[in-house]
Every structure is written in structure tokens, then in C-alpha cells.
Structure 1
């Protein structure tokens, strides 16, 4: 079943939209010459589809002496294009229009001069002629001396809906035609017609030989099933056959779409080369590689070292709160090995450590980013692998400094004292008070009850019988103090580990945020671009 004009137009529109995506996404990745040609085709297609769809532009092209202008006059039925012995005869393009309504903007776009525009003004021009809607162009001779400096013929051959190549028996194998045009238009079979003109110069046998030879020559150049019409502008033989071909094209009103489709097919050959073998990739970085990148960046900025430093600082600070006071007071009599830590400035020390760790490890940061890119690109074309690597490194220069700034904002809560530290300190100082009170009581008993140095202020302060119980109480207080001191050290170790975990998790979260913004997001954008590009190539290549 033949598709309707609307279906053909929609299919072509979808392919052109895909081509626009190729131009947009392929910059820096695909062949620049092909992208430039693609952009030119998009402009040309947009202009042509916007202009009159009721007219079919047919270009008569040929070399000097092929009888092109005579054939133009024969088809139009008017003496419009000059003919003669002088070469080249046609210096500027002449146009004959069947049905002027709506043709003006299209002729302006074709850049046909007003004095070279002609209309078929007859009763048949009211829409009843089979050629109604035809714009027939007589192009300048493509091989003339003038054509070497005037690209009008080349330009119009590229934008015409249907090209009719007028060849003569002597030069139908002319290399300038085949090399410059026919080979380039391979695949444009539906919008190309070959006319062997001046057949009156040939015998019937010679005519058959020439046609067979021309078909073989065209087949060798990639033109499959060429339409060949034999004419004689002088005698009129075959002119009606050519008119029938033109009328068929005009009636179908598909030539403009077919020409654009053929141009698009030819353009997609280099762009779609081996596209079926190109692997698609996941456009999202998987969790394993994401975690690997974050682990590597955490190593590069020394997260573990900072966590260990925080754990040690936590333990050192706890000595002033949960250590047994007597042991702490005794330690003060010895030189303090911790004074060099300058714990009052430890927050700035840790911030300085963060900054130095990041700035000192740019190579590790770069290796982490490189490892991520390499793990995502196996099987991709080299130019796209480079694109992923470039995307991963797009902000690598700022990455170490950004990590430093982020982690420097994490101030360990050195001014925060856990509640149990307060309770334990109160408990231990209560034991200290009880110990001092017990010792004072025991001294009173020894003074008043044993040594009889005087009368005790109160009977209980001189009662010798209380002394054993008092000694037991003092020993118990000392034991409780020592036991609580040892127990507190275990809780301090556990608390320090928790503080380290909290700090490392906070730092890892910030490293993850930076990695997501500065590495993973650009990489995922490039991966989506890769998939979208080859998806667009497949869509633009689909017929």
C-alpha cells in the first residue's frame, strides 16, 4: 500500500528532527564536514517544505550542445530559452511555470530573475493540464567556461525536486557529468531522469546500443534502475514520453519529499556507518562505581586520618572530665607530654589538616576521576570515550579546592560536652569529698580517741570503735573511684569511636555531594548525549 502524502511528510519530518539532534549532539564528536552538510540540508529542507507544496521544481541540466534549451522549448511549447550555435547559449536560468498561484515565493527562493520567469497562460493553465504545478528550469550549461565561475547550475541542481539530465549521443559518457554529479546523486533514482536527446542523429540500432551502454554506465556508478527517456527536440520524438514522466511526478506531488529523503539517505551513510555495532550505555553511574569514586576521593582527602585525629582528640579531652581526680592531680606533678597538642586550637589544627590533605593529593583525585571514566566507556568509539573523560575532568582543576572548602566547614564539636561526662565528674568529686571527709574523721578519732589529745567536740569524733568501719568506707570510696575511672575509660573509647564515625559520615556525605555535582553529573550528561546521538542516528537512518 502506498503511503499518503501526509504520512510521507510526517516520516520525513521525524527524520529531519532526528538529523537536527545529530547536528546538536554531534559537535566535537562526529565528522565536522558531515555535520556542516547536515545543517545545510536542514536549512534547505525547512525552506522547501515551507514553500508551495503544490509545485514541483524540475531542472533540465546538461552540457554544452546537448540540446537542453531546445528540449525546454519543446516541453513548454514556447520559444522561451535561446538556442543557437554560440556556446554557451543559456547564461542564466529560465523558468516556465504551469500555474502561477503560490509559485512566486518559491521562484524567489530559487533566485530566478524576474525577466527569466515565464508562465503557461492558456486555458489548460487553469489546473486542467497534467503539468499544472510544474516549474521547469533550463539551467546554464554545467561545463561551460562561464560555469567555472558561476555556480548557479550547481546550486539549482542541489535544490531542485527532480533533475532531468539531458545527454547527447556523442557525450552521454562525459566524465564531467558523471564525476561531478551522477556519482554524487547515487541513491536519488526516484528524483533523477536521464534523457538521451538528439536521437534523430542515430539509427534505431545505434539508439538501442547507446541506451544499453548508458544504463550499464549508470549501474556501475550506483544508479539502480535508472529512468531513461529517448527524445529528439528537433523532430519531437519522445517529448511526449518525457512530459508523461514529468506529469506523473507533478501529479504525485512527492518529488520534493523524495529529493529530501534521498539527500538525507546519502548524508546518513557516513554518519550511520557501523551504528548497529555501537553499544548503548547506562546513562546513570551505577552504585558500585559511584561508591568507588567516593571512596577514592575520601582517601585522597584523608578522611580516615581526620577521623582518627578526631578520635584521639576526643580521648585527650575526656581526661579532664572522666579521669579519677587523684590520678589526674598526680599526673600534673610530672611533665605533660600532651601540652604540645595545643588542644585549645585543635579546631583550627583539624581545619588546617583538611586543607593540606586535599591540596597535597591532586594526583589521587585525578586518578579517582580517571578510574570512573575508564570503567564506563569500554566499547564506545574513541572520540566518545574521550568525551566522557573530558566530562569527568571538566571541573578537576577546582575539585581539590572545593573538597577542601567543604570539609573545612566541618568543625568537630570540641566545645560540646556529653551529659554523662558531667554526671561522672559530679560523682567522682562526690567520692573525693567522701574520701576527704573519711580521712578527716579518722584523724579526729586518732587524735581524740587514741592519742587522747583532748576532749572530742562530739562523741562520734572520738569513738575508736567506728574506726574499722571508717577505714572500710575510705577503702570503698577509693575502690569506687578507681572502678568508675576504669569504666569511664571504656565509655570514652566507645564515645570516641562514635564521634569518629559521625565525623567520617559527615565528611563522606560532603565528598559525595561534591563528587555528584562536579564529576558524576557531567559524566551522566555525556552518557545521555552519547545514547541520544546514536538514537538520533538510528532514527534519521530509518526509512
Structure 2
């Protein structure tokens, strides 16, 4: 394989691993914790392996007790490196034979191979085997050894080796424990798995062909689509060159490490796809219609319309003290207080009390509005992600009543604030009251001095009876002008009250929308964005 092709493979694998990292980050609490842990371990293992020598291919010989694995290791290496048991053949520690030491040290350290169990093929011994330069051959502990420490070490090295060679013997090649614990688990790793039927010297050619065919059929049933089976005999040397050729092919390609990581990643992605099936892309932003719908629902929940109406009524009632015709107002004091008919409680003292009570009284409606928004946005999403969006929507919904109360309390105008034109109208109407009182005084004076002759008037005109009609006309004009100004001002007050209500409701709605944005919509959009990023990462991590 060319250097360009290998670099492209490495780059593609790096992009997939980066996507897997995003899956681990974004999938916390949304996918199986076991898968998250396995993905994190794969990224750690991949990161470590990719930093180490790309010129070496780690090949692990794995097999059960009595399969002749150590003998095969010695036959391939050409040296007696791994001890062969007599009574009960067991390999307790991993042995390594390296073809080409340059750069292999850190990789062997990462594999945790003890120094006394590391061996190198000297150049003099490598004559004719240059095709194996870059091979690190491991003789793993027997996976079914009676020694407790061997299985964990074998399991660990099987997981991190670039190529695994399973050494089987004619008597136990269909051993259920091997297939259940390892072969089935490595389905999909065809490119980085080789099966050796060792001790073939015990079989006739017909028996060997039958065993190989039976083993291949068994492997295919267990998910190994294209099994590579090599028949060998460590005793006679039969098939050793064929096995070396397979190893040399992997070493020469310099991509077994990438293929192994890709196979591990493919297997993990299959499990992830089963755990989170049928992902669909969703809009990561809440559309304007749903924003408006949530704002409307929250406005209903806090009684914005009722508050606006109450404020309009308060505005009108308070205007009576300022722009109503004083004589009518004084007469009205003899009747029941009109504010009591509004049933606003303490509104005359502080309209904030009204606002606060209205908000805190509707938590159920707030919850319903938030739930409706979440349900409308999660159609088609997997259940666990739907639950995540609902959780995000409801995460701060308990704070909504208090937040809305605080916001709306700032909107409500203080009751002691009145429009400036109310002051001018009040001054004008009291001037009319004064003119009317003066007119009555003039009438009384004329009657006293001009009709009843109570004495000499201080001013001649105050005793002239002919002036009475003009003074009376003035009094009627004052009363009419006061009445008309009262009616006109009342109409202006009603118009102003309506505008004040509209302004207040717009301001309240704006603040409700702001609170909804901060406490509900932003968390929901973050969760939707997280889902879409997870969805994209899942696609990127696939082939």
C-alpha cells in the first residue's frame, strides 16, 4: 500500500475518532453508559497506538492450552524463545519477538511486555526474512490457563494488538468457550484476524481439508464473512511459510493498526446504532410561531389581559379625582366607593400586589405551556432525546412564576403618577369653580343692595338690578363650560386609559417573552443543538 493511501487511511480514521469523541461528549446521559465507557476506552487506546511506531505491526498469537501456540511462536521466530510445557503446557507471561528494534521500545512499553521477555531477530538471522521487518510477534498467555493472572493479560493484549492469530488444534478447534468469548466478539474484524489450524501433522490430507472446511463454515456462521484459515504444523514446519506470508503481507501494508482500530470502531458503531436507532435531523431553533404560542400561553397563565383591564379601570377611576367636574365628584363622595366594585384588593395601595398574586396563582398553566412547546419540537426524536428536551424545557420552569412576577412588577406604573394634562385640567376646573362662587357672591350682593335695600353698595354696579341677568348668564355659562370640559376630559381619559392598557400589555408581553426566552427557549435550543451535533457526529463516525 502506498504512503499516500496509508496517510489517507490515517486521516480518515482520525476524523472518525474525532466524531466518536463528540459522541462521547454529547451522549452523556442519552446513550448506554457502557457504550460511553467503551467508546472512551477505544479513543484512549487509539490515541496511544497512533502516537506510537506506525512502522511496526503487533501480531498476537492467541490460543488455548495445548494448541501448540508457543511451538508455533518458536517456529515462526526461528528461535526457542517461548517455553513449551511438558506436563501442562501453559504460557504465563507474554513473550515478544521483534523484527527491527528501531522505534519498537515505546510500543513494547505500552504493551507492558517485560524486558526479560523481549527478544529481537538480529540482522544475521534475518537473512531471507526481510519481509517481516517491522513485525512484533507476541506469544500470549493461554486464554484458558489455570493460572488466574493469565486470562486478564491475554484479554488486554487481544484488545490492543493490530492483528490476532487464533491458534486452534484439531481436537478443540470448535471449542465453545473460544468462540463465545472471543471469535463472536471479533465479528467484523476479518482483515485483522487469522485462524491457524495447528498440529495438522496429526491429520491426513482428507481429514485436514474436512477440518478446514468445517472451521470456515463455523466461523462464517459466527459473523466472520471471509475467514482466513492456515493449516500448520510447528513440529514438521508444514504451513509455517504460508503463515509467514500472511504476516508479511500485513507488515508490508503498514496499515494493520489502522484496520484494527477501524474494525473496533465499526463494531462499536453497530452497537451505537442499535442503541439510538432512527435518528432524524430537527430544527435547532424554535420557530416564531412556537415562540409566540409560548408567550401567549404564559401571558394567559399570568393574566396579562386581566391585569391590563384592571389597570385601565384603575386609570379611569383615578381620573375622577383629577379631571371630573368637582361638583359631581363631591356629590359622588356621598355614594359607595367605585373602586370597591373592581375587587382589586390592595390595588389602591400598590398595584404590584395585584401583579404578584396573579402570577403565582397559575403554576399549572405555566407547566402546561412549557410541556406543549417541548412536545411540539420533539416529534420523531428517540424517546431518550425527547425526554432530554422536556427536561431542558422544564429545568427552570419552576422559576417562571417568580421571574414573571418580578418583571411585571417593574412594568406596573405607580398609582401616584398622573399625566401632566390632568394637572392643567384640574387647575382649569377649579378656576371655573372659583368663578361660579364669585358669580353667586355678586348675585347675593346685588339682591341685598339692589332689591332689599340693605344699604349703600360699596360699588355702584353691585346695587344695579339690571346686571342680574348678565351675572346669571355667566353662572350658567360657567356651569355649562365646567360640564362640557368634564365630559370632554372624560373622553380623553378613556382614550388615554385604552392607550395605557395597550402600552402596558405590550410591555408585559415583551417581558414575558424575554423571560420565556431565557428560562425555556434557550435551554431547549441548546438541547436541540446538542441532539443535532450528536446526530452529525454519529454519521461522521460511520464509514
TM-score by length of 1: 0.93
1:41-80 map, 5 Å:
41-80=42-81
Aligned to 1:99: 100
Q: Contact 2:143/2:151 (CA < 8 Å) preserved in 1?
A: no
Q: Contact 1:310/1:500 (CA < 8 Å) preserved in 2?
A: yes
1:112-191 map, 5 Å:
112-123=113-124, 129-146=130-147, 150-191=151-192
Aligned to 1:278: 279
Structure 1 residue 237 and structure 2 residue 238: aligned? yes
Q: Contact 1:110/1:156 (CA < 8 Å) preserved in 2?
A: yes
Distance in 1 (CA, whole Å) between partners of 2:337 and 2:325 is 17
Distance in 2 (CA, whole Å) between partners of 1:101 and 1:69 is 25
Q: Contact 1:60/1:165 (CA < 8 Å) preserved in 2?
A: yes
Aligned to 2:292: 291
SS at 2:131's partner residue?
Answer: coil
Deviation at 1:156, TM superposition (A): 0.8
SS at 1:151's partner residue?
Answer: helix
Aligned to 1:482: 483
- Say if 1:160 and 1:127 are closer, same or farther in 2 by CA, change over 3 A: farther
Distance in 1 (CA, whole Å) between partners of 2:137 and 2:100 is 11
Q: Contact 2:301/2:362 (CA < 8 Å) preserved in 1?
A: yes
Deviation at 1:95, TM superposition (A): 0.2
Deviation at 1:303, TM superposition (A): 2.2
Distance in 1 (CA, whole Å) between partners of 2:163 and 2:148 is 21
Distance in 1 (CA, whole Å) between partners of 2:260 and 2:43 is 13
Please, which runs of 5 or more residues in structure 1 have no aligned partner?
none
Aligned to 1:497: 498
SS at 2:155's partner residue?
Answer: helix
Structure 1 residue 402 and structure 2 residue 403: aligned? yes
Q: Contact 2:278/2:382 (CA < 8 Å) preserved in 1?
A: no
> Deviations 1:14-53 (Å, cap 9, x if unpaired)?
1111111111111221112211211111111111111111
Deviation at 1:444, TM superposition (A): 4.0
Distance in 2 (CA, whole Å) between partners of 1:465 and 1:364 is 75
Distance in 2 (CA, whole Å) between partners of 1:192 and 1:337 is 92
- Say if 1:258 and 1:484 are closer, same or farther in 2 by CA, change over 3 A: same
Q: Contact 1:94/1:117 (CA < 8 Å) preserved in 2?
A: yes
Distance in 2 (CA, whole Å) between partners of 1:114 and 1:274 is 43
Distance in 2 (CA, whole Å) between partners of 1:195 and 1:189 is 14
Deviation at 1:365, TM superposition (A): 1.7
TM-score by length of 2: 0.93
Q: Which moved more, 1:140-149 or 1:214-223?
A: 140-149
* TM-align CA RMSD: 2.6
Structure 1 residue 368 and structure 2 residue 369: aligned? yes
Aligned to 1:32: 33
SS at 1:184's partner residue?
Answer: helix
> Deviations 1:164-220 (Å, cap 9, x if unpaired)?
111222222222221111111110011011112222222222222222222111111
Q: Which moved more, 1:297-306 or 1:454-463?
A: 454-463
Deviation at 1:337, TM superposition (A): 5.3
Aligned to 2:196: 195
- Say if 1:302 and 1:341 are closer, same or farther in 2 by CA, change over 3 A: closer
Deviation at 1:473, TM superposition (A): 2.7
Aligned to 1:310: 311
SS at 2:181's partner residue?
Answer: helix
Deviation at 1:306, TM superposition (A): 2.1
Deviation at 1:454, TM superposition (A): 4.5
Please, which runs of 5 or more residues in structure 2 have no aligned partner?
none
Q: Which moved more, 1:241-250 or 1:404-413?
A: 404-413
Deviation at 1:265, TM superposition (A): 0.5
Q: Which moved more, 1:57-66 or 1:404-413?
A: 404-413
Aligned to 1:381: 382
Structure 1 residue 472 and structure 2 residue 470: aligned? no
Aligned to 1:415: 416
Distance in 2 (CA, whole Å) between partners of 1:55 and 1:458 is 130
- Say if 1:284 and 1:241 are closer, same or farther in 2 by CA, change over 3 A: same
Q: Contact 1:140/1:147 (CA < 8 Å) preserved in 2?
A: no
> Deviations 1:265-301 (Å, cap 9, x if unpaired)?
0111121239673222111112222222222222222
Aligned to 2:247: 246
Aligned to 1:214: 215
Distance in 1 (CA, whole Å) between partners of 2:36 and 2:280 is 22
Aligned to 1:510: 511
Distance in 2 (CA, whole Å) between partners of 1:334 and 1:265 is 87
Distance in 2 (CA, whole Å) between partners of 1:511 and 1:352 is 18
Q: Contact 1:147/1:153 (CA < 8 Å) preserved in 2?
A: no
Distance in 2 (CA, whole Å) between partners of 1:495 and 1:357 is 24
Deviation at 1:80, TM superposition (A): 0.5
Aligned to 2:110: 109
Distance in 1 (CA, whole Å) between partners of 2:446 and 2:345 is 46
Distance in 2 (CA, whole Å) between partners of 1:350 and 1:413 is 7
